[in-house]
């Protein structure tokens, strides 16, 4: 039986490519996304036509019991979850404090911080019982520094980063690997960044940065996710950044007199 | 008319001492805490007997509209808020993931992260309108690193730290000073640490560390809060730590072979 | 007898103003700088005319035994050093790797990192013997992040930051307070920034930022140095930033798609 | 012709294993170490008997022109350097400030910080000319936090970390990948940790941690070095940690009341 890789947030960007990568190397992947049943079917079909094995679910992660039942269902009907990928952001673009209603702030937290807690709460004890497991968390720049307009996103991401460290502190010795992967730039992902920016702005950005590989290519991001999941337990990575060669780091802006 | 300093979380520890310090130097302080009306009355009486000016409210910060109405009420009936101190933690001691119910995790976030967002949402636009203001946030070690058993607390604190950076990024240029004050050790506070540890354990800790000044003295913490609120706007501090001379930093544990 | 405050690097910017501040509050200050005897005399005269007490030395800090002999001499002939301020940078403007000769890189380290080690080596054991003391270190943004063109400066500053943490880890329990003060922006200092940028560029920058308080005012920086030196030992600050209200933090540049 | 991987610091630990890994996947490796010609010969022989290609040099990295001539020589006589690994530490165990002579502090810097600057100065412009290259730097916990007794080591490592960020800021856009790899625990390396602790203490540590994989296995560390060198340029990692599942993070010590 193939080991199972469960992906929460499997669209056309990082999540989908991570799914393809794990499927290519022998995992059965369970792909979950909120909507777009057709996109989900296409992804599964693509994986299967490459000789891989996958199934999928539509799932609203903020619904009560949604994550909890998913984990139990996969464990019971598909197989033991070896790797779980949490790939849910809550980026809403730049919004001033006044333009960020309380509901928006709360939803951002439910989507990207509380959902990880719920997922961990459901799956880590099962993994600990089995004596092994891997939890890969897609994160972003905002987990390491706030920014104007990022009140909701940065607060959710910053909380999640500390949660990852806490989970690792409790579970590493039980042979469970938690990795916090900081996506430190713009991903070439039409489903997320593309939708947020709008098609025209996204195309313009791709052209400016370089169509071929100016934005971060999710298929190559997937290579690093896979590598991390295969690391020997004596040399686990708990946090790393990924950023394009063409991108300045966020801490290197060109202010003339800041040394 | 005296400038107003509003303190959310004014018990016998940091909050109360910060209140006394600002009252001593000419502020009218509005002291808010969840319960213990008698303690609140004593604090007000103590401030008044020292020649200061204060009033108080009992307030459950997680209740809908509680913070929002408080801010409007103080602005209308007491005076323009010049300094606001957010002094709400959600430390519940060390709890394993399994022993941290979803409700607990959510409450921790409501108490210490969402409450700051709500407070900022209510008060910063008013301050921005006036062209000045100060927001001091009491934080803790957990805002900078997770730890086993700190899932709820670290996630709330880590989120709040990024929120402070985001607020600062939006509001500094509008002459509003946001400072994130990392209390990096145990405070000599019977109301919070004392209650959490229990009286005996707290007394034992005080004796071990040194009764006189082994734990962090909240009256002296208040001196630094006051200094930060008085900094000239060309030289604002946005983050600092406070830790006792007798305490090892959290990153300096005595593992023999970790370099 | 007045307590002694020794300042290494006392020009017309932070060092000189810190000297004036400590003199105003009762310290005898010993002002050291590399050259400009006239500037040094003026500073002493200004302090004395304000009723303070000061003397000065010209000192090349990279010379063998210079720091070591200074400390012994002050201790013997002036009085016990209570506070020592290390205020030596090695900013040389932005230089590409190729334009940074090995000698330049080494000199940057000698000036701003090795000099602190030598100073600490000379003075901290004496303070430890007496059971108290304070070491304040002026640092900069480059201590926390590298940048293109800052090879020499960032390497020296980053090393110095870790040295401060190491000194604190060894000496805090001996009642010696080491604080690392991150000057996170441009200081209104004609002696250092002014000379590096050139008079015209410096004037232009001052005008752009706001002549009155657009750049960081060293007289107000001095207030925070003084506060830190007076903190009660149960609540010491070990690291803090100082940045103007008008300045964006270095991590908040306006890249459109970095979240 | 095989691509060349140059390794500065190729003993029986990380350096040697990284050499074997790159040789196994088609690189010609140039192995440099300070002494032990026999160990170097054995390593080359082992690589060759596995079908790989390697040669070696004895090299004292602090000698004038040593690094500079090495780079030119390899470029001229062996082939274009595609990957260079800087694997030089300067850990001397825990030494108090008083027990750390100025010479020791300076040597630590020469070995582990200045040597990287010299290496980068010699090789990066050549790589930039060719339009590609990779520089992997072995780092340690001390690059991110100082500690009692680590004055020399932490200052050198902290400086080096900022240097890596500066190099990356200048050279990433020129298609040169600089990665700072934080070895965040004890490595199962008889040549370095073994010699520093002494044979008995090292054996005892291995037994305590678990002989099989309680310490970090350098052969597996090498897998991650290799992965990083193969990352697509749109998704480079610039900093990551590696730590054993059995190790607590350095920020998670068991102080009962530090939250």
pLDDT tens by residue, D121-159: 999 999 999 999 999 999 999 999 999 999 999 999 999
Angstrom CA distances, C256 to A201, A216, C64, stand at: 11, 15, 51
- Check CB contact under 8 Å for C241 and B237: yes
| Per-residue pLDDT at C226 exceeds 90 | yes
Residue with tokens 């050259």: C35
pLDDT mean across residues, chain D = 94
| B259 lies within 8 A of chain C by CB | no
C31 pairs with which residues across the strands? C7, C56
What tokens does A22 get? Answer: 């794990």
pLDDT, tens digit (0-9, with 9 covering 90-100), for A113-144: 999 999 999 999 999 999 999 999 999 999 99
How many CA atoms does the CB half-sphere of C228 hold within 13 Å?
32
**Roughly how many angstroms between the first and final C-alpha of chain D, as a whole number?**
56
Query: What is the per-residue pLDDT for C253?
Result: 58
Query: What is the per-residue pLDDT for C258?
Result: 45
| Per-residue pLDDT at A21 exceeds 90 | yes
Question: A38, A68 in Cβ contact below 8 A?
Answer: no
Looking at beta carbons, which residues of chain C come within 8 Å of D113?
A: 109, 155, 159
Question: C91, C156 in Cβ contact below 8 A?
Answer: no
| C118 lies within 8 A of chain D by CB | yes
Query: What is the per-residue pLDDT for D193?
Result: 86
Which listed CATH number (3.30.70.100, 3.40.50.620, 3.40.50.720, 1.10.1740.10) goes with A4-189+219-233? 3.40.50.720
Residue D209: which pLDDT band, with cuts at 50, 70 and 90? confident
pLDDT, tens digit (0-9, with 9 covering 90-100), for B112-122: 999 999 999 99
| Touching chains, A (3+ CB pairs < 8 A) | B, C, D
Closest CB to C155: pick one of D142, D150, D162. Answer: D162
Q: Which of D137, D187, D184 is nearest to D162 (CA)?
A: D137
Question: A111, A62 in Cβ contact below 8 A?
Answer: yes
Phi/psi class of residue D77: alpha, beta or left (left: φ > 0; alpha: ψ in -120 to 50)? Answer: alpha
- Check CB contact under 8 Å for B243 and C235: yes
Domain C4-189+218-242 -> CATH class: alpha beta
Query: What is the per-residue pLDDT for D211?
Result: 83
In sequence order, the 6+-apart residues with CB closer than 8 A to the CB of D67 are D8, D59, D61, D115, D118, D119, D122
- CATH code: domain B4-241 is 3.40.50.720
Query: What is the per-residue pLDDT for A159?
Result: 97
Alpha helices in chain B (DSSP H): 14-24, 37-49, 66-77, 102-109, 115-130, 151-171, 195-197, 199-209, 218-230
| Superfamily of domain D4-235 in the CATH hierarchy | NAD(P)-binding Rossmann-like Domain (3.40.50.720)
The H-or-E segment that residue D74 falls in is helix D66-77
Nearest Cα of chain D lies from the Cα of C104 at a distance, in angstroms, of: 11
Query: What is the per-residue pLDDT for D257?
Result: 45
Looking at beta carbons, which residues of chain D come within 8 Å of B258?
A: 141, 184-186, 247, 250
| Per-residue pLDDT at C223 exceeds 60 | yes
Cα B207 to Cα C105: distance, rounded to the nearest angstrom: 50
Query: What is the per-residue pLDDT for A168?
Result: 97
Query: What is the per-residue pLDDT for A1?
Result: 85
Q: Residues of chain B whose pLDDT is less than 50?
A: 254-259
**Residue ranges per structural domain of chain B:** 4-241
Alpha helices in D25-62 (DSSP H): 37-49
Closest CB to A259: pick one of C153, C205, C247. Answer: C153
Q: Write out the DSSP string of chain C.
A: -PPEEEEES-SSSHHHHHHHHHHHTT-EEEEEESS-HHHHHHHHHHHHHTT-EEEEEE--TTSTTHHHHHHHHHHHHT--EEEEEE----------STTS-HHHHHHHHIIIIIHHHHHHHHHHHHHHHHT-EEEEEEEEGGGT---TT-HHHHHHHHHHHHHHHHHHHHHGGGTEEEEEEEE-S-B--IIIIIHHH-HHHHHHHHHHH-TTTTSBPHHHHHHHHHHHHHS-GGGB--EEEEB-TTS--TT----TT--
What tokens does B148 get? Answer: 């086993």
User: What radius of gyration, in Å, describes the C-alpha atoms of chain D?
Assistant: 18
Q: Which of A215, A228, A47 is nearest to A138 (CA)?
A: A228
Closest CB to D253: pick one of B184, B205, B253. Answer: B253
Cα B177 to Cα B174: distance, rounded to the nearest angstrom: 9
pLDDT, tens digit (0-9, with 9 covering 90-100), for A189-217: 888 888 888 889 899 988 888 888 889 99
In sequence order, the 6+-apart residues with CB closer than 8 A to the CB of C95 are C104, C149, C151, C152
Closest CB to A113: pick one of B97, B159, B170. Answer: B159
Worst-scoring range by mean pLDDT, C116-120, C145-149, D108-112? Answer: C145-149
Residue D197: which pLDDT band, with cuts at 50, 70 and 90? confident
Angstrom CA distances, C13 to A14, A163, B5, C177, stand at: 50, 43, 33, 23
Residue with tokens 């970790």: B258
Residue with tokens 């054991």: C125
- Check CB contact under 8 Å for D148 and C165: no
Q: What is the ipTM of this complex?
A: 0.95
What tokens does C255 get? Answer: 């890249």
Phi/psi class of residue D187: alpha, beta or left (left: φ > 0; alpha: ψ in -120 to 50)? Answer: beta
Nearest Cα of chain C lies from the Cα of A253 at a distance, in angstroms, of: 5
pLDDT, tens digit (0-9, with 9 covering 90-100), for C168-206: 999 999 999 999 999 999 999 888 888 888 889 899 988
| Per-residue pLDDT at C119 exceeds 70 | yes
pLDDT, tens digit (0-9, with 9 covering 90-100), for C87-101: 998 788 889 999 999
Average pLDDT over residues A38-46: 97
Which of C142, C153, C155 to mutate to test binding with chain D, by most D CBs within 10 Å of its CB? C155
What tokens does C244 get? Answer: 């103007």
| Per-residue pLDDT at D174 exceeds 60 | yes
The H-or-E segment that residue A201 falls in is helix A199-209
Question: C46, C114 in Cβ contact below 8 A?
Answer: no
Query: What is the per-residue pLDDT for C257?
Result: 46
Worst-scoring range by mean pLDDT, A75-89, A146-160, B211-225, D239-253? Answer: D239-253
């Amino acid at each position: 039986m193939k080991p199972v890789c469960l992906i929460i947030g499997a669209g056309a960007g990082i999540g989908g490519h991570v799914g393809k990568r794990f499927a290519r190397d022998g995992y059965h992947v369970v792909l979950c996304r909120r909507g777009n049943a057709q996109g989900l079917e296409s992804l599964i079909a693509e994986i299967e036509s490459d000789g891989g094995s996958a199934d999928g679910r539509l799932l609203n992660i903020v619904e009560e019991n949604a994550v909890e039942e998913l984990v139990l269902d996969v464990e019971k009907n598909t197989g033991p979850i070896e790797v779980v990928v949490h790939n849910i952001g809550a980026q809403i673009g730049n919004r001033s404090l006044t333009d960020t209603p309380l509901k928006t702030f709360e939803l951002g937290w439910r989507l990207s911080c509380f959902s990880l807690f719920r997922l961990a709460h459901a799956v880590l004890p099962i993994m600990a019982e089995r004596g092994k497991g891997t939890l890969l968390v897609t994160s972003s720049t905002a987990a390491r520094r706030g920014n104007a307009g990022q009140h909701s996103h940065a607060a959710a991401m910053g909380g999640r980063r500390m949660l990852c460290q806490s989970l690792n502190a409790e579970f590493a010795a039980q042979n469970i690997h938690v990795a916090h992967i900081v996506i430190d730039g713009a991903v070439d992902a039409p489903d997320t960044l593309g939708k947020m920016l709008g098609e025209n702005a996204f195309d313009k950005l791709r052209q400016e940065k370089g169509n071929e590989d100016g934005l971060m290519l999710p298929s190559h991001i997937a290579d690093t996710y896979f590598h991390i999941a295969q690391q020997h337990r004596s040399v686990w990575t708990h946090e790393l950044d990924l950023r394009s060669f063409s991108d300045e780091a966020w801490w290197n802006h060109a202010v003339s007199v800041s040394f």
